[in-house]
Amino acid sequence: MKRVMTYGTFDLLHYGHINLLKRSKDLGDYLIVGLSSDEFNALKGKKSVMSFEERKEILQNIRYVDKVVKESNWEQKVEDIKKYNIDVFVIGDDWEGKFDFLKEYCEVVYLPRTKSISTTLLKKILSEQESA
Annotation marks residue 46 as catalytic = yes
**DSSP per position, 3-23:** EEEEEE---S--HHHHHHHHH
> How far apart, in whole angstroms, are the C-alpha atoms of residue 12 and residue 8?
12
Euclidean distance between the first and the last CA atom of the chain, given in angstroms as a whole number: 51
Of the candidates 2, 22, 25, 46, the residue annotated as catalytic is 46
Of the candidates 2, 22, 44, 98, the residue annotated as catalytic is 44
Annotation marks residue 115 as catalytic = no
Tell me which residues are annotated as active site. Answer: 44, 46
